[in-house]
Amino acid sequence: MQNFLRGAGWEDRGVTIDRDRDAEGRARNARPRDALGRPLPHDAAGEERAPEGVVRTPAETLAQAQALLDEGRPFHAHEVLEDAWKSCPEAERQLWRGLAQLAVGLTHAMRGNARGAATLLERGAGNLAGYADDAPHGIDVAGLVAWARTAAEDRRPPRLRA
């Protein structure tokens, strides 16, 4: 895509073409972020970010994500939950995906994006609902689904475990 944009006049419109890339060539944004994940200027201090691609036990994931939620950092909690989603057994994929979506929904709510919050919270609740009868890892699935379906305006962090 970079070659397509080069020479097409995008540079004249203020569009940055060069992007941070990882070793595999995937786009990575190395800009610092605020507590809600919004990009800051390159020279800003920003919030410390959770390292990506870390494989944690479910208990470690839940504890770290809960601590981040309690600190008002749902964007960063989402990154921790996303690592679990990407590395978990197939049978738990929707569970971890749903938890990550709840964190993103809370991020949108805290940013003032009520519509985005409602969409992500409902999507997360839908992904979690199938685990309500046999909730793994002590996760309060029923409580989280109920919270998500009423939480777009309530910006308090959810409790991942009962």
The predicted-structure confidence for 68-112, as pLDDT tens digits, reads as follows: 999 999 999 999 999 999 999 999 999 999 999 999 999 999 998
**Better-scored residue on pLDDT, 149 or 139:** 139
Q: How far apart are CA 61 and CA 145, in angstroms?
A: 19
pTM: 0.75
Average the pLDDT over each of 21-25, 86-90, 96-100, 145-149 and give the range with the smallest value.
Answer: 21-25
What residues does 161 pair with on adjacent strands? 139
140 pLDDT above the threshold of 60: yes
- Name the pLDDT band for 25 (thresholds 50, 70, 90): low
What residues does 39 pair with on adjacent strands? 33
What Rg value do the Cα atoms of the chain yield, rounded?
18
- Name the pLDDT band for 42 (thresholds 50, 70, 90): confident
Residue at 50: amino acid letter: A
All domains of the chain in start order, with CATH: 58-148 (1.10.3450)
Report residue 33: phi and psi, to 5°.
-125, 155
Task: Return mean pLDDT, the chain.
Answer: 83
Q: How far apart are CA 141 and CA 133, in angstroms?
A: 9
Average the pLDDT over each of 39-48, 70-79, 141-150 and give the range with the smallest value.
Answer: 39-48
Residue at 38: amino acid letter: R
Average the pLDDT over each of 5-14, 113-122, 128-137 and give the range with the smallest value.
Answer: 5-14
Q: Which of 7, 27, 84, 14 is nearest to 53 (CA)?
A: 84
Q: How many CB atoms lie within 10 A of CB 86?
A: 14
- The DSSP-derived string for 71-128 is TT-HHHHHHHHHHHHHHS-GGGHHHHHHHHHHHHHHHHHHHT-HHHHHHHHHHHHHHH
